[in-house]
Structures are given as C-alpha cells and as structure tokens.
C-alpha cells in the first residue's frame, strides 16, 4: 500500500477546490485493506467526480485501485466481474467493442466502477441496478469480502444501501454485471427516441456521448460534479397545484409520486447561467454547478443556500444535494 501526504485536493475531486488532503492511502488489493483496523476507517473515494471537499481533509482518504475484469458466458448473456478501480467509461467502451449490450446508455459518466452502485448511477432510461447482479463489499469489521446480491442492495433513484446502512462500513471492491449478446435497445429518453428501433449498439453509444457533450460541461475545462441536486419526487396533488400556475412544469410519474426536473425549478428560480463570486449554474444545464475559480467553499455554500431557499419559497420543494459534500472531518455536510 502506498501512503501520500499533503496532497492537493484538486487532483482528487473534479470540483477542484484548492484544499489539501492530509493523507491518501492507495490500496492495491484486499491484503492492503486488511491493514486497517478500527475504530476509525478512512473516507473511501473513487475518482472524486461526485465528491466535493469543503475544507482540508484531516481524516485519511482511501482509493482502491484494483481494476481487473473477467467474464463468464452462456449463449446469450455475459456475466462480467469488474474490480472497483476500473474507470467506468473505459468499461462501457470495452463492452461496445465486445458487442455486449447493456451499458451503452451509461456512456461517458465520469468516475470509477466502484462508485457506480453507491448512488446507482443512471442516465437516458437505464440505471446501474438494471444491469447489476451483485456487489462485492469488503467489510471493515468482518475483515472479509461479502457478496451482496443486487436484490439486497436497496437500489433506488440515486440511492443504495451503500449510502445508507453500509455507509462508512467498508469498501466496494468489485461488481457483477449481466450483459447481453442480443440487442437490448432502450430508446425511450428524449434524444434517443428519434433513433430507429434497429439502431446499432455503436449508434446508441455515440448518440449518448453526443447528447452529454452538448449539454454537460467537461470537468477538465470547467470543474464540476455533474448534477448537483437530485430530481425531487413530489405528491400528485402538489404537482397539480404547481402545474396550475406553471403549465410548462414537466412531470414523470413514479411509484411514490411525480418526479420533477430540478433543472426546470432552478431555471424558473432565475439561476440558469448565473455566476456569483466565481461559482454558478451552467448555462446549458443549470443543475450542474461549476467552479469558475473558487478559492474556498464559502461562495459555493452560499449559492446552494440561495438556490434551495428560492426554490422552497417559490414551489415549496426542498432540493437535496446529489453530490457528496465533505467537511474537514470527513463528515457529510447537509445543507439546512
Ligand atoms: N431542463 C430545464 N432547463 C434546462 C435543462 C433541463 O428546464 O436548462 C428540464 C427539461 O424539462 C428537461 C429536464 O430538465 O427535459 C431533464 O433534463 P435532462 O434530460 O438534462 O436530465 P436531468 O433530469 O437534469 C438526469 C440525471 C443526469 C443524467 C440525465 C439523463 C439526475 C440528478 N440527473 O438529469 O445525471 O445524465 O438525467 O438521463 O437524476 C448526474 O447524475 O450527475 C447526471 C448528469
């Protein structure tokens, strides 16, 4: 295992706030993980594309780097076993080269394979949970890897057991994904609907990449962590009430209510393209908050507070962050 000290946080979070990480452990395998014993365990980090360090991190940070993959095949399906340190998009790219269906709608999502189940990544009508068979989890207390079947991962919209009961309890070390040799096109999302039903795997993959590149800023040029807030789910009654005053409000029925786009609420609240003190909502997709040269986290926290209170006042909807915000002690910061 490697230990790096006094690291610039910019290299470890795509939001690139200029703080430091006191200690970064780079673990290569399970034997490295076994070197940690409680009561305190490090903060687990993937590629840092969904984590913002709000201050210098005094709690150690750990990255799990193993990235091997192997496959088991029957005639129509392939079960892929992929270690957590693999880059997500490189994996998707490889599945396209192998003519394996299943992950093409999830192209170009930044981050590592190990981070994917934590918030159940999703895009263009597909979620990780649609393709995941199991998650291998190294449990700090038990000091061993436990295989958790997908049915027990409590996958939901941008949520899983790894954000709930198992948060801070271990490290995701690998995933099992079930992919198909037979076509499995999911073309119901705007932008993909226009494709023919016979669209090839390559065509869908390229279209998803085009849509993402046309709307979402590249974090290498404009530091960001993707969607900043979750799309809220409100009651049918509340949806009707708002819809009466704002007939353009889009709504997507769910089992537990109606999902409304946070981007729409933020645009209506007047924040689209607005930049204050070097932080702002991206012009083409206001749900993405961009760091335009911050020197500390205060203006970001101020912007989050203003957006949340404006949306709350106007629509009586509370926006919840989708990104992980960490204070100096490595604890989750929950905006109030
Ligand atoms: N919209 C506006 N104004 C805008 C942009 C969008 O009103 O300027 C409204 C439109 O009604 C549009 C709707 O928002 O139809 C949805 O926009 P979009 O398709 O861009 O998706 P999203 O709901 O904002 C979610 C995910 C994205 C994912 C896309 C595509 C969340 C929090 N975000 O965004 O995921 O790529 O759908 O499936 O669920 C991420 O998690 O970091 C992420 C980028």
Indicate which CATH number applies to the domain containing 57. 3.30.43.10
Could you give the number of structural domains in the chain? 3
Q: Which residue's CA is the nearest one to ligand 1's atom 41? A: 227
Indicate which CATH number applies to the domain containing 160. 3.30.465.10
CA neighbor of 119 nearest in space, from 79, 163, 77, 153: 163
Token match 């365990």: residue? 41
**CA 72 to ligand 1 center in whole angstroms:** 35
Residue 75: is its pLDDT beyond 90?
no
Q: Is 227 one of the annotated active-site residues of the chain?
A: yes
Select from 213, 240, 256 the last residue of a domain. Answer: 213
CA neighbor of 271 nearest in space, from 226, 304, 231, 318: 304
Atom of ligand 1 nearest to the CA of 231: 32
**CA 292 to ligand 1 center in whole angstroms:** 21
Q: Is 97 one of the annotated active-site residues of the chain?
A: no
Helix, strand or coil, per DSSP, at residue 188: coil
Give the mutation target among 123, 127, 248, 273 for probing the ligand 1 site: most ligand atoms within 8 A of CB: 123
**Residue 335 resides in a domain:** no
Residue 53: is its pLDDT beyond 90?
yes
Helix, strand or coil, per DSSP, at residue 87: strand
Residue 216: DSSP 8-state? S
Give the mutation target among 261, 271, 290, 324 for probing the ligand 1 site: most ligand atoms within 8 A of CB: 261
Atom of ligand 1 nearest to the CA of 215: 20
Q: pTM (2 decimals)?
A: 0.97
**CA 52 to ligand 1 center in whole angstroms:** 20
The verdict on 82 and 181 lying in the same domain is: yes
Residue 254: is its pLDDT beyond 90?
yes
**Digit-coded pLDDT (tens) for 188-217:** 999 999 999 999 999 999 999 999 999 999
Residue 30 half-sphere exposure toward CB, CA atoms < 13 A: 13
**Percent share of the chain, pLDDT over 70:** 100
The verdict on 77 and 59 lying in the same domain is: no
* Residues 284, 148: Cα–Cα separation, whole Å: 39
Residue 75: DSSP 8-state? S
Task: Show the domain range for 153.
Answer: 69-213
**CA 23 to ligand 1 center in whole angstroms:** 35
**Percent share of the chain, pLDDT over 90:** 98
**Residue 75 resides in a domain:** yes
Q: Which of the following is catalytic: 16, 63, 131, 158?
A: 158
Cβ atoms 321, 228 nearer than 8 A: yes
> Which residue ranges have their beta carbon within 6 Å of ligand 1?
123-124, 215, 226-227, 230-231, 250, 261, 263-264, 267, 272, 285-287, 322
Give the mutation target among 15, 109, 287, 323 for probing the ligand 1 site: most ligand atoms within 8 A of CB: 287
Residue 73: is its pLDDT beyond 90?
no
Q: Which of the following is catalytic: 47, 104, 127, 322?
A: 322
**Digit-coded pLDDT (tens) for 82-104:** 999 999 999 999 999 999 999 99
In the predicted model, what is the mean pLDDT of the chain? 97
Structure confidence at residue 74 (pLDDT):
82
The verdict on 174 and 297 lying in the same domain is: no
The verdict on 254 and 274 lying in the same domain is: yes
323 burial via Cβ count (<10 Å: 0-12, 13-18, 19+)? buried
Q: Is 16 one of the annotated active-site residues of the chain?
A: no
Select from 64, 79, 97 the last residue of a domain. Answer: 64
Residue 336: is its pLDDT beyond 90?
no
The verdict on 181 and 308 lying in the same domain is: no
**Residue 224 resides in a domain:** no
Cβ atoms 116, 128 nearer than 8 A: yes
The verdict on 48 and 183 lying in the same domain is: no
């Amino acid at each position: 295992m490697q230990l790096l000290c006094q690291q610039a946080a910019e290299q470890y979070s795509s939001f690139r706030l200029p703080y430091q990480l006191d200690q970064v452990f780079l673990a290569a395998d399970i034997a490295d993980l076994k070197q940690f014993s409680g009561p305190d365990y490090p903060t687990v980090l993937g590629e840092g594309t969904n984590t913002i360090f709000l201050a210098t991190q005094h709690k150690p940070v750990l990255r799990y780097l193993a990235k091997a993959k192997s496959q088991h095949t029957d005639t129509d399906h392939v079960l892929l076993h992929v270690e957590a340190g693999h880059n997500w998009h490189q994996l998707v790219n490889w599945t396209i080269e192998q003519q394996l269906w299943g992950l093409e709608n999830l192209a170009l999502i930044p981050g590592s394979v190990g981070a994917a189940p934590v918030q159940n990544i999703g895009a263009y009508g597909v979620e990780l949970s649609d393709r995941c068979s199991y998650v291998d989890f190294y449990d700090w207390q038990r000091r061993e890897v436990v295989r958790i079947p997908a049915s027990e991962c409590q996958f939901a919209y941008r949520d899983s057991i790894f954000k709930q009961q198992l948060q801070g309890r271990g490290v995701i070390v690998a995933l099992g994904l079930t992919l198909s040799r037979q076509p499995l096109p999911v073309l119901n999302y705007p932008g993909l609907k226009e494709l023919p039903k016979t669209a090839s795997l390559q065509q869908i993959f390229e279209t998803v990449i085009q849509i993402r590149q046309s709307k979402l800023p590249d974090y290498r040029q404009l530091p960001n962590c993707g969607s900043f807030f979750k799309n809220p789910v409100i009651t049918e009654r509340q949806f009707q009430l708002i819809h009466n005053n704002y007939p353009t409000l889009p709504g997507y029925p769910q089992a537990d209510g109606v999902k409304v786009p946070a981007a729409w609420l933020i645009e209506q609240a007047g924040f689209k393209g607005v930049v204050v003190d070097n932080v702002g909502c991206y012009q083409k997709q206001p749900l993405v908050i961009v760091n335009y040269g911050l020197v500390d986290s205060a203006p970001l926290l101020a912007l989050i507070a203003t957006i949340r209170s404006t949306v709350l006042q106007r629509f009586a909807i509370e926006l919840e962050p989708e990104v992980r915000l960490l204070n100096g002690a490595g604890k989750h910061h929950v905006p109030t």
